[in-house]
Amino acid sequence: MRRAATVALAGGLLLTASPLAAPASAAPKPAPRPAPAVSAKGAYLADQATGTALYGKAATTPRQMASTTKIATAIVVLTTPKVDLNRKVTVKQAYRDYVTREGASTADLRTGDKLTVRQLLSGLMLPSGCDAAYALADTFGKGKTSAERTKQFIGQMNAKAKSLKMAKTKFDSFDGISGGGNNVTTPEDLAKLARHSFDNKTFRDVVKATSYKAAATASTGKTRTYTWYNTNKLLGSYPGAVGMKTGTGTAAGPCLVFAATRGSKTYVGVVLNGSDRYNDAAKLLDYGFGAKPTAKKIKLRPLPAGAQRD
């Protein structure tokens, strides 16, 4: 039997080379998939379960976020200790006056009607109701006046951002209408908020619905039925889409926070100031799932006449 040869290296390490061992041939590595080109000025894609980033574009650059702010509004309410989703909130005229004054998107809440917190969350997230945002901030903030309560609620939103280590995020409104332009985030930060929010079952149930009907107690004592349609056209258009929130503003541009699930895998993503936000989202999700591109084939779910756009 032949002895293996022992070879001494200059550094003192001994390697044993056997003449019987054939040299191993490395398997060729697959070519990396090219990252998609997107219209958005800022974008991000992450694994929901692990937080692993799959894509980033200007991911840490702060930008205005418009109504994607309402994700924070919703999750602050939902993580309030002992929150009662069946608690009834009376709609104030101030909420209607606010959306009229700002020209804001609305759930068309009627003064004197009583809606549950759960219903208001759908009014917040589907038609992007700024009146619903006002109602929730006024209800869950602390203080003697509406101004004090809404200010304190925005403080809760900032505390939530701090707890999630959203270092470059600042909220100065409860709905994304920013008077001073200081309502900013980054794609990476907003993805952290999206992942945290998506862990909440009620939040998931709210944002995945393409429409929602709320039977509220009208000011007359009768029942009024509100019907809201989700402004997120990715739902019902992209296979596996399950949320999450649109946003549009003069400074922010078109924005979208999105999520999709296929099998056991869920990805969440962010598009800030994207002129083609839905195709951007489809491209990023295709990239994450390793799927054949659907972006060119995607046909967006139409919204009924009169439905809110955001």
In one letter, which amino acid is 17?
A
Answer whether residue 9 shows pLDDT above 60.
Answer: no
Question: Which region among 23-27, 71-75, 129-133 has the lowest average model confidence (pLDDT)?
Answer: 23-27
Task: Look up 173 and say whether it is catalytic.
Answer: no
pLDDT in tens, 38-81: 999 999 999 999 999 999 999 999 999 999 999 999 999 999 99
Question: In the structure encoding, which two tokens stand for residue 25, read together?
Answer: 């041939």
Indicate the range of 18-22, 75-79, 104-108, 124-128 predicted with least confidence. 18-22
Strands of the chain, DSSP E: 5-8, 14-17, 42-47, 53-57, 63-64, 88-90, 114-116, 184-185, 211-217, 223-229, 241-249, 253-262, 265-272
Decide: helix, strand or coil at residue 97.
helix
pLDDT the model gives residue 99: 98
DSSP at 69: G
Specify the pTM: 0.90
The single residue of 105, 128, 173, 237 carrying the catalytic annotation is 128
115 vs 13: CA distance, rounded Å: 76
| Confidence class for position 298, pLDDT limits 50, 70, 90 | confident
Closest CA to 51 of 304, 266, 280, 277: 266
Instruction: Inform me whether the pLDDT recorded for 190 exceeds 90.
Output: yes
Distance CA 96, CA 91 (A): 9
Q: How confident is the model at residue 11 (pLDDT cuts 50, 70, 90)?
A: very low
Angle subtended at Cα 119 by Cα 80 and Cα 165, rounded to the nearest 5 degrees = 35
**Tokens encoding 78:** 């939902």
Answer whether residue 1 shows pLDDT above 70.
Answer: no
pLDDT tens across 227-261, in order?
999 999 999 999 999 999 999 999 999 999 999 99
197 is catalytic: no
Share of the chain above pLDDT 70, in %: 89
Nearest to 68 by CA among 116, 145, 133: 133
Q: Which two tokens stand for residue 210?
A: 């393409």
Predicted confidence band of residue 16 (pLDDT cuts 50, 70, 90): very low
Residue 125 has pLDDT above 90, yes or no: yes
Residue 47, number of CB atoms within 10 A of its CB? 15
**pLDDT tens, residue by residue, 30-45:** 556 788 999 999 999 9
pLDDT in tens, 108-123: 999 999 999 999 999 9
For residue 89, the tally of other CB atoms under 10 A from its CB is 21
Active site (annotated) includes residue 264: no
List the structure tokens of 74: 């919703």
